[in-house]
Each structure stands twice: as C-alpha cells, then as structure tokens.
Structure 1
Amino acid sequence: MRNNYLLAIGSAVLLWLAWPPIPYTSVLLFVAFVPLLIAVEQVIRGDYKNKGRKIFGLAFLTGVIWNTASIYWVYNSMNAVLNAFASLMIALIPFTLAPLLMALAFRGYYQMRKRNNILLSFMGLISFWIAYEFLHQSWELAFPWMTLGNGFANFHQLIQWYSVTGVYGGTVWIWIANVLIFLWYWQKREKIQVYRQSVLLGIIAAWIVLPAGISILQYQSYEEHVNPSEIVTVQPNIDPYGKWGSITPEQQLKTLTDLSQKVAKLNTEFFIWPETAISGSNGINEEEFRDYPQYYKLLEFLEPYHNGNILSGIESYVIYNDQRTTTAREVGNMFYDSFNAAVLVDGSSKLQFYHKSKLVPGVEKLPFGEALAVMKPLFQHFGGTTGGYGSQDEASVFYSASGIGAAPVICYESIWGNYVASYIRKGAQFIAVITNDGWWGNTSGKDQHLMYAKLRAIENRRWVVRSANTGISAFINQKGDIVQKSSWWVPTALSQEINLNENLTFYTKYSDLIVYLSFVTSLLSIGLIVVRKKKISKISPTD
C-alpha cells in the first residue's frame, strides 16, 4: 500500500500546484487525479482486505493535503475573531469535511465497479463528485471555495464558456480529461486494449483542445456593448485588528471620503466602499441612520456629484418588539438582529439596505442553529457569537436614481456563482464585491478571492468592481481581465469607466443545469449499486 499512498500524495501535490493563485498552472488539473485513480485501480485489482475502506482512505488523504495546502489561510481568518482552540476547530471544517465528502464519492465509485463496467462506474464517480460540490455550497456548513471549476480562475482565457455552464462545466471538463488519460495510461501499462489507444488519444486531444480553442476565440472576439458609467473603488487600509480601538468611526469615514475625492470626477456615479466601512460604537440602527452624524457627512460628501451614490458595507442592526427571527437576541423587553450589511446612500433621503445572506459558518452564524441551540453557551465561551448575524433569504439589487442596478455582494458571497447570478436576473448591471480580506493576512487567500471574482464576471458578462479594505481592490471587465488593481496593504482609490450590461447569459438565465443533470445520474448510479447483480467488465476485476 505504500506506493498507493505515495500516488495519492502525488495527486494532492498536483492539485495544489494547479490551484490559484499560481498563474497558468491550472492545466495540471487535467492530469491531477490520474495518480489517485491508478492507486485506486491497484487496490481494486490487488489482494487486499477491506478494499472499500482503503480506497476511502486514499481519497481522503489526497483531499486533506490538497485542501490544507491550498486554504491554510482559513485558520488566520478564524483566529482574527475567535480564540486559538475555536479557530482550529472551525478551520477543520474545510480542511477535513470536504475531503470526507470527496472520499465518499470514491467509495461510491468502488461500489459501482463491483457491479458495473468501468465507464458506467466513472459516470457515477463524476456524478457523485458534482453532487458533493453542490451539497458543499448548499448546506449549513457550506464552503464552496474548492469547487474544481474554480481552479481555472488563474487562466480565465480558457473558460469563457462558463457564461453557459458556470464552474460546474469546469468540473466536468477536468474529470473527463482525467478519466480518459487514466484509461489510456492503464491500458498502455497493462498491455491491454479494451479501447483503441489511438482513438483514446484522439478523444483526449479533442476533449481538451476544442473547449480551450473555442474559449480563446470567444475571448478574442468578445466586445462589450458601450454603456459607460464612472466608478470609484476605495481601499482604506484600516487594520482589522485595531479597527474598534485605534481608529474611531469618524476617522474611518474621513479616510474613505478623502481617498474618494482624490480620484473622483464630477460624473462619478458610484463610490464603492468595503465591508463594514460605515460603523458606530455599537453599530448603526437602520431605522435611525438618518439621525447619525455619519449620514450627514455622507450627504455633504456627495454634494458635488449630482448622480453620485455611495455603496458601502455597514455594521447595522434592527430592533423588534418580539423575537421575529431565530437569530434575534434579547435585550430587556426588546429583541434585535445585527447585520453584516450593505447600504446605498444617494443625495436624497432614500436608503437601501441589503443584509448578507451567505454567512461564514462558525464565525457569522452557528451551523444548524436551531438544532444546536443547546451549544450556544459553549460556542460563546470559545469566542463566537451566541446568535450569529441576521440575514435575508435572497439577493436584492440597489438602484440609483438614474436607474442603474448594482449587485451588493458581500465578501464570502462572491464564491457562489448561482447566488451572484440571482442579482443579475433581478436587474443588476454590474457587480460590486465589498470585502475585508485583512483578517487573512498577506496569504494566498486574498489572491484566490480576487481571482474567483473573475469567474463571476465571465458567467454573467458583468464588470466586477472590488473594494477590499486592505487589498486587493480591482476592476474586472466582462471577459475576466483585471483592468486595474491595487497593491496589498496600501491605502488608495481607483477610478474606472466601466460598461454596464443588461443582457443575460445562458448561465445567468438557467444557472447550474449541470448540477440537476448530475442529480439524475447520481440517483441512477445509486440504483445500479443497489439493484444490479455483480457484473465484471473486461477491465474491472472481481473484489
């Protein structure tokens, strides 16, 4: 088994090397699973006991090493707001939970191999894998950071067709390439030819080259419809560790307005400020925001910009007479919800709020809150919040007085392709990602987060304006090109004329159709595992 473990580690290393932010290495994804598939095949054909457990262990080993090496920075972000023990416990969710689900997909593949031919079994493996990825973006412990299709964020010229398929199209592209290359290698090594080697090579070449070629042609020929709007994005560089001590809300607001004025033009229509940029000593009461000194400062700042709007992160709360939500906390005879929110302020008295929907498990919300309510005191002891943040159920779009629709996407939410697409279906003409990546430190986390925004631009053919407190702030065009970006940990503001877009891509209209298809094939695969008698293929041995 030692050789098999080395092969599993080899797959993990290839996956890590292929992952953003290393530029242009994503082509390694086409072969990254081949060593693991070889190891699994050797277990299936070998004289081992408990083969299913061994295959599960090999896949889990690959997943743990790959995930930990790629997203090691998760511990930094948790440690910023929780104590060391709680940080480690929560960091184990992405480090180990996703690999467990990956390993279950391989366990299901082994069960299929005992009863079906190898091609049908591989169909099951790919279906199980996509089902795992979708589950991991949909449940209470959601963390879709490592969805396979995200791996092409560092080589976006190859995946312009994400405007049709989304990132799950990338997952299918990667997996089928790995399966075909494995079949070719295994037949060559074992000197068998169930499938003609020349035909396999032709299929491999076509499967990889044709989508890449089509994408490059799309990239070169795509032209944006001219519909200009002048936008400013601001990076105030407020140290998140000292935000509530070394700098007052008034000082923070002055930093934002001063930076904005340095690059603003009279026709600037939107000023994009980062997550939690507007705050008070105890947050901002949304119902009374117009009475706060900060609000009058905002109106004063906007006076020279007749069509100007401020789209900013805000720490806010809402007070209720009764407990209307499961996250509401009681104070005296009242209840309140705290929100990681966004607000749109214009020259009128109108205010628009959006409450972050996709909350970070363990930091912004207690997973399975109602079921685990008994654990709230323990969670609080370890440094978390007892109730978590409140949220809203679906995306909402901010509209300026001139009718421009902006998608207020807060930090972690930018990882969900289908969720961001829901803003576009509601009329958003550009995407504003507001975030505070300073919690992660100068790690690859901030770079990955930036690159994933390129995928949202391609899927929806919308400009992405990114405002990150400590970096990296950027403008990304509809092809996924980073047109401008800031440096890390440098206070600055950037100005750019972007093109608004009202057209909907196929992906925007229909979202993750590949997932729904995979659910069907997953159910069929489970049915084949349960009901079919053992049938051995030419290339598949008995257990």
Structure 2
Amino acid sequence: MKTNYLLALLSAVILWLAWPPIPYSSPLLFAGFVPLLIAIEKVIRGNFTYKGKKIFWLSFLTGFVWNTASIYWVYNAMNAYLPSYVSLIISLIPFGLAPLLMALVFRSYYQLRKKTSIGYSFIGLVSFWLGYEFLHQWWDLAFPWMTLGNGFANFHQLIQWYSFTGVFGGTVWIWAVNLLVFLLIWQKREKIEAYSNKKLAIAVTATLVLPITFSVIQYQAYTEHVNPSEVVVVQPNIDPYGKFGPIPPSEQLSTLLELSERVAKPNTEFFLWPETALSSERGGIDEEQFRAYPAYERVISFLDKYKNGNVLSGIESYRIYNHAKTTTARDFGNGVFLDPFNAAVLIDQSSKLQFYHKSKLVPGVEQLPFGETLSFMKPLFAHFGGSTGGYGSQEEPSVFYSQSGIGAAPVICYESIWGNYVADYIRKGAQFIAIVTNDGWWGNTSGKDQHLLYAKLRAIENRRWVARSANTGISGFINQRGDIVQKTAWWAPDALTQEINLNEELTFYTKNGDLILYLALLGGGFSIFFLFKKRKEVSK
C-alpha cells in the first residue's frame, strides 16, 4: 500500500503544479489523476481487504494535499477578521470537505466497478465528479474555487470554446484525457490489450488536439464589434485591517475621488470603486436615506464634470423594517429591524439610485451555513462585525443601467466564480462585467492572482469585457477573448482607464447555461441504478 499512497501523493503534486497561478502549467491537468487511477486499479485487482475503504483514503489524500496546497490562503482570509480557532474551523470547509466529497466519488466508482464494466464505470466516475462540482456550487457550503475547468484560467488560449460549454466542459475534457491515458499506461504496464493500444493512442491525440486546434482558431479569428465605452477602475489600496477602523470613511472617499480624477476623461462613462468602498462613520449606509449622506453629495459633485458619468461602487448598506421581513434582519427593539448588505450601488445625475445585494455569500463569514439547523453556532461568527445572522441578499442578479442605456453586471467578489450566475446578468442585458472586490484580506498570496485569472473565464463564456476594481489589487481590464489588457500592481494605489467594447450578442453558453451538468445528472442517475442493481461478477 505504501507505493499506492506515493502514487496518490504524486497525483496531488501534479494537480497542484498545474493549478493557477503557475504559468503555462495547465496541460499537466491531463495527467494529474493518472497516478491515482493506477493506485486505485492496483487496489481493485490486488489481494486487499476493505478495498473500498483503502480507495476512499487514497483519493482523500490526493484531494486534501492538492486543495490545501492550492488554496492555503483561505486561512489568511478568515484569520483577517475572525479569531484563529474560528478561522481554522471555517478553513476546514474547503480544505477537508471538498476532498471528502472527492473521496466519495472514487468510492462510488469502485462500487460501480464491482457491478458493471470499466467503460460504464468511467461514465459513472465523470458523472459523479460533475455532480460533486455542481453540489459545491449550489449548497450552503458552496466553494467552487477548485472546479477542474478553472484550471485553464492561466492558459485561456486553449479553452475559447468555453463560450459553448462553460467551465464544466473543461472538467469533462480533463477527465476524458486522464482516463484514456490511464488505460493506455495500464495496458502497457500489464502487457494486456483489452482495447487496441493504437486506437487508444489515436483517441488520446484526438481528444487533446481537436479542442486545442478549435480554440486556437477561435482565438485568432475572434474580433470584437466596435461599441466603445470609457471606463475607469480605481484601486485605493486601503489596508483592510484599517478599512473599518482608524481610516475615516470621508478620507477613504477622498482617496477614491482623487484617483478617479487622475485618469478620467471627459467622455468617461463608468467609474468602478471596490467592494464596500462606501460606508459611514456609524458603519453602514441606510439605502432609503443615502441622498442625505455627505458621501452622496460629494459623488454627485464629482460627476458634474462628466456628462454621462456613473459611479458603480461597492457599499456597506442596510435597510430598516418595522417587522422581521427577512431571516437576516436583526431586532434592534421598539419594532425596528435592520438588514445589512454587502452591496453595490450605481450613482448618476438622475434622481434614481440602483442597489444590488450580493447573493453568493461566503459560508461562515457572510452567512451561517444551514442557518436554522446550525443556529447554535451563531456565537462563533459574532466576531464578524457583530454579524450572527449573516448578510441579507437577493435571490437573482440584477443589472445596473446608466442614463445612456448601458447595462453593467455588478458582480461582487466571490460571485465571479459562478459561471451560470454571471451569465444570468448577461441574459438580463448586461453589456460588460463590472467586478468589485477587496482581496486585501488574503495578503500577497496566490488567492488574489487566482481570483483575477478566473475572471478571464467569465469574459470568454459570455464574450464580455471585464472591468475589475480591487481594493488592494489586482485591478484591471480583460477583453472578450480573455486577454488581460491592463492590470495594476499589488498593494499600490492606482487607477486605470480603458476604452472597452460593449457587447449585446449572447453566446451559446450564455443562452443555455451548464447543459453538461444536466447530462451528468442523467449519467449519474443511470450509474446509481447500477449501484443498486443485483451484484454480478465482472471479468477483470
């Protein structure tokens, strides 16, 4: 078994080396699972007891080492504003839970191998894996950071066809190549030929070359329809540890205005400011009374110089109700309930204010997972700004429209990881994607780089420019092919201006979403049928 565990560790190392932001290493993903598959096959065919248990722990080891090495920065993010013991508990969600689900996938694969052929078992393996990735996007402990298709974010020239399939197409591609390579290596290792080695070699080559060729042709041939709009992104570089403390909100606003002024042009239409850029001395801003705040007057005064100017900013806001209108509203006594939001706002010269409330909330920090069931854990999370009930949210994304009719998708931080969610903005009329985030909590780790690179995937899926404003970096612009056209340095105040092209056309992916997941659910359903089918012996 020692050799098998070494093979499992080898898989983890290969997958980690293939993961962003390590440049041009993505092709390693095509072999990342091969050592683990060999180890599992050795267990299946060996004289071992408790084979299912051994396969579970082999795959858990791979997942745990790969995940922890790739997203070690999660602990930094949590430890920034939570006690160490709480941040450690929350960090175990991505460090341990995802590998646990991965291990269950491989354990189910082993059960399939006992009931049906290796070909059907492979279909079940891929279907179960996609089911795990779907679950990790949907439930209260959602953390889709390590979705396999995200691994090509650093080599976007290879996956231009995400405009048809989204990132789950990348997941299927990676698994298809891994399984074919595994079969080829295993047959040569065991000197057997259940499948023609020549045909397997041709299949591996075709599965690799055809998508890459198609993607490179797409990349070279793609041209943007000219529909220009001038956009400014601002990076105030306010230390997140001081953002809600010693630095007054009025001083933070002065920094934002000065940086915006530095690069603005008379025809600038959008100024993007980062997550929670606007707040008040008392904390949040009452959305109903925002026009009475000095910050609003200062922004309006600034926009006097720009005929079609709009400020799209992150804002720490709240609404007041006279009854418990939502599950996140806090009782302040005397019939007053306050619902806090991590939000975005669009400010222009009209009398209308547009707000968007972040929907995809960070488990354990912005929301208590399975709130009613785990309500006893609320004291653990009270350290986060006094928030024990979590932030309020809205169920669906909404688009900000400027007075000139331009639709912008106000994507807040963590939300940019959800392909279909961002596509929903586009389906509702967004002509470019505006990401407002902080990223300063993570420190100078690979987390900030991964978050930037993942935005390239949203640009490709929807063929929309991405304008990204991050408090401490990295801010910048990404075109419709996924190229980073401009970006700032980390931990430096800066502002960039860019003429982007607006787009109104919808890609196949934008129109249809994650069709591959529906096929995976169908495949998973058939696989479950085989799992419960009466056992029969299958020749090895």
| TM-score relative to the length of structure 1 | 0.98
Q: 1:7-156 maps to which residues of 2 (within 5 A)?
A: 7-156=7-156
- CA distance 1:249–1:378, shift in 2 (3 Å): closer
2:537 maps to 1:531: no
1:326–1:370 contact (8 Å) kept in structure 2? no
Whole-angstrom CA distance in 2 between matches of 1:160 and 1:166: 10
2:331 maps to 1:323: no
Counterpart residue type for residue 482 of structure 1: I
What is the match of residue 223 of structure 2?
A: 223
What is the match of residue 412 of structure 2?
A: 410
Whole-angstrom CA distance in 1 between matches of 2:244 and 2:168: 40
Whole-angstrom CA distance in 2 between matches of 1:15 and 1:398: 39
Whole-angstrom CA distance in 1 between matches of 2:527 and 2:62: 24
More deviation, 446-455/327-336 = 327-336
Whole-angstrom CA distance in 2 between matches of 1:377 and 1:442: 30
1:323–1:335 contact (8 Å) kept in structure 2? yes
1:77–1:440 contact (8 Å) kept in structure 2? yes
1:122–1:179 contact (8 Å) kept in structure 2? yes
What is the match of residue 287 of structure 1?
A: 288
Whole-angstrom CA distance in 2 between matches of 1:461 and 1:378: 42
Whole-angstrom CA distance in 2 between matches of 1:117 and 1:274: 53
Counterpart residue type for residue 344 of structure 1: L
Alignment partner for residue 395 of structure 2, among 393, 396, 401?
393
Task: Report how far residue 383 of structure 1 moved.
Answer: 8.1
Task: Report how far residue 382 of structure 1 moved.
Answer: 8.8
User: What are structure 2's unaligned runs of at least 5 residues?
Assistant: none
Task: Report how far residue 375 of structure 1 moved.
Answer: 2.6
Counterpart residue type for residue 290 of structure 2: F
Q: Could you list the per-position Cα deviations for residues 14-69 of structure 1 after superposition, in whole angstroms to 9, with x for gaps in the alignment?
A: 00000000011000000000000000000001111100000000000000000000
Q: SS state of the match for residue 481, structure 2? A: coil
Q: 1:223-302 maps to which residues of 2 (within 5 A)?
A: 223-281=223-281, 282-302=283-303
Task: Report how far residue 370 of structure 1 moved.
Answer: 1.7
Counterpart residue type for residue 441 of structure 2: W
Whole-angstrom CA distance in 1 between matches of 2:513 and 2:120: 26
1:64–1:99 contact (8 Å) kept in structure 2? yes
Counterpart residue type for residue 9 of structure 1: L
What is the match of residue 453 of structure 1?
A: 455
Q: Could you list the per-position Cα deviations for residues 383-430 of structure 1 after superposition, in whole angstroms to 9, with x for gaps in the alignment?
A: 872111110001000000000000000000000000000000000000
Task: Report how far residue 347 of structure 1 moved.
Answer: 1.0
Counterpart residue type for residue 533 of structure 2: V
Whole-angstrom CA distance in 2 between matches of 1:189 and 1:231: 57
Whole-angstrom CA distance in 1 between matches of 2:108 and 2:425: 36
Task: Report how far residue 381 of structure 1 moved.
Answer: 6.5
What is the match of residue 338 of structure 1?
A: 340
Q: SS state of the match for residue 447, structure 1? A: helix
Counterpart residue type for residue 23 of structure 1: P
What is the match of residue 176 of structure 1?
A: 176
What is the match of residue 313 of structure 1?
A: 314
- CA distance 1:71–1:384, shift in 2 (3 Å): farther
1:85–1:382 contact (8 Å) kept in structure 2? no
Whole-angstrom CA distance in 2 between matches of 1:211 and 1:532: 39
Whole-angstrom CA distance in 1 between matches of 2:370 and 2:191: 52
Q: SS state of the match for residue 232, structure 1? A: strand
Counterpart residue type for residue 110 of structure 1: Y
2:529 maps to 1:521: no
Whole-angstrom CA distance in 2 between matches of 1:269 and 1:521: 47
Task: Report how far residue 73 of structure 1 moved.
Answer: 0.1
Identity over aligned pairs, percent: 71
Whole-angstrom CA distance in 1 between matches of 2:389 and 2:47: 53
Whole-angstrom CA distance in 2 between matches of 1:499 and 1:449: 23
Whole-angstrom CA distance in 2 between matches of 1:465 and 1:317: 26
Q: Provide the aligned length of Structure 1 versus Structure 2.
A: 538
Task: Report how far residue 246 of structure 1 moved.
Answer: 2.5
Whole-angstrom CA distance in 2 between matches of 1:256 and 1:190: 65
Q: SS state of the match for residue 234, structure 1? A: strand
Q: SS state of the match for residue 490, structure 1? A: coil
Alignment partner for residue 428 of structure 2, among 422, 426, 435?
426
2:111–2:531 contact (8 Å) kept in structure 1? yes
Q: Could you list the per-position Cα deviations for residues 492-514 of structure 1 after superposition, in whole angstroms to 9, with x for gaps in the alignment?
A: 00000000000000000010000
What is the match of residue 440 of structure 2?
A: 438
Whole-angstrom CA distance in 2 between matches of 1:163 and 1:382: 38
Whole-angstrom CA distance in 2 between matches of 1:28 and 1:48: 31
Task: Report how far residue 113 of structure 1 moved.
Answer: 0.2
Q: SS state of the match for residue 409, structure 1? A: strand
Counterpart residue type for residue 101 of structure 2: L
Q: 1:432-511 maps to which residues of 2 (within 5 A)?
A: 432-511=434-513
Whole-angstrom CA distance in 1 between matches of 2:323 and 2:525: 44
Q: Could you list the per-position Cα deviations for residues 353-401 of structure 1 after superposition, in whole angstroms to 9, with x for gaps in the alignment?
A: 0000000000001000122223323442698721111100010000000
Counterpart residue type for residue 208 of structure 1: L
- CA distance 1:378–1:69, shift in 2 (3 Å): closer
Q: SS state of the match for residue 336, structure 1? A: strand
Task: Report how far residue 535 of structure 1 moved.
Answer: 3.5
Whole-angstrom CA distance in 1 between matches of 2:391 and 2:146: 25
Q: SS state of the match for residue 343, structure 2? A: strand
2:436–2:470 contact (8 Å) kept in structure 1? yes
Whole-angstrom CA distance in 2 between matches of 1:323 and 1:74: 33
Counterpart residue type for residue 324 of structure 1: K
Counterpart residue type for residue 289 of structure 1: F
Whole-angstrom CA distance in 2 between matches of 1:449 and 1:45: 42
Counterpart residue type for residue 40 of structure 1: I
What is the match of residue 165 of structure 1?
A: 165
Q: SS state of the match for residue 114, structure 1? A: helix
Q: SS state of the match for residue 237, structure 1? A: coil
Whole-angstrom CA distance in 2 between matches of 1:209 and 1:226: 32
Whole-angstrom CA distance in 2 between matches of 1:382 and 1:326: 18
Q: SS state of the match for residue 318, structure 2? A: strand
User: What are structure 1's unaligned runs of at least 5 residues?
Assistant: none
Whole-angstrom CA distance in 2 between matches of 1:245 and 1:19: 36
2:230–2:270 contact (8 Å) kept in structure 1? yes
Task: Report how far residue 245 of structure 1 moved.
Answer: 2.3
Whole-angstrom CA distance in 2 between matches of 1:383 and 1:483: 37
Task: Report how far residue 202 of structure 1 moved.
Answer: 0.4
Q: SS state of the match for residue 214, structure 2? A: helix
Alignment partner for residue 359 of structure 1, among 358, 361, 374?
361
More deviation, 96-105/371-380 = 371-380
1:117–1:535 contact (8 Å) kept in structure 2? no
2:162–2:460 contact (8 Å) kept in structure 1? yes
Q: SS state of the match for residue 138, structure 2? A: coil
Whole-angstrom CA distance in 2 between matches of 1:5 and 1:488: 39
1:82–1:384 contact (8 Å) kept in structure 2? no
Q: SS state of the match for residue 136, structure 1? A: helix
More deviation, 526-535/398-407 = 526-535
Q: SS state of the match for residue 241, structure 2? A: coil
Q: SS state of the match for residue 224, structure 1? A: coil
1:227–1:501 contact (8 Å) kept in structure 2? yes
List, as ranges, runs of 4+ consecutive aligned residues in structure 1 with deviation greater than 4 Å. 381-384
Counterpart residue type for residue 467 of structure 1: S
Task: Report how far residue 81 of structure 1 moved.
Answer: 1.1
Whole-angstrom CA distance in 2 between matches of 1:135 and 1:245: 37
